[in-house]
Amino acid sequence: MQEIPLRQAYQRVLVQDIYRAQNLERIVQTGSCDCEIQFPSWDAAEAVFRESYASDERWEMLQASDAYNRRANAARPAAKAICDAAGNW
């Protein structure tokens, strides 16, 4: 991901959006806000990007980013409550 040219920064943004949604959803699914749950490696997000979006057009990636942002925003309140209770927000 570090080798993506600046003109294609939307690809990095999509990977970041995938990562954020995955992490917030994982917190809710596990009920845990441990560091390894909240901040895992980027491998899973990069794999989703490579498998599902790497060959997409820019507009398709922007749509995917929007969808992942909606997923993250939906999971955020529950994840925040879990992490607040653990003192990790």
Domain spans of the chain, in order of start: 8-86
Query: Alpha-carbon distance 87 to 41, whole Å?
Result: 22
Rounded to 5 degrees, φ, ψ at 30 are -90, -20
Contact (CB, 8 A) for 61 and 10: yes
pTM above threshold 0.75: yes
Q: Which tens digit of pLDDT belongs to each residue from 9-28?
A: 889 999 999 999 999 999 99
Q: Which tens digit of pLDDT belongs to each residue from 38-82?
A: 999 999 999 999 999 999 999 999 999 999 999 999 999 999 999
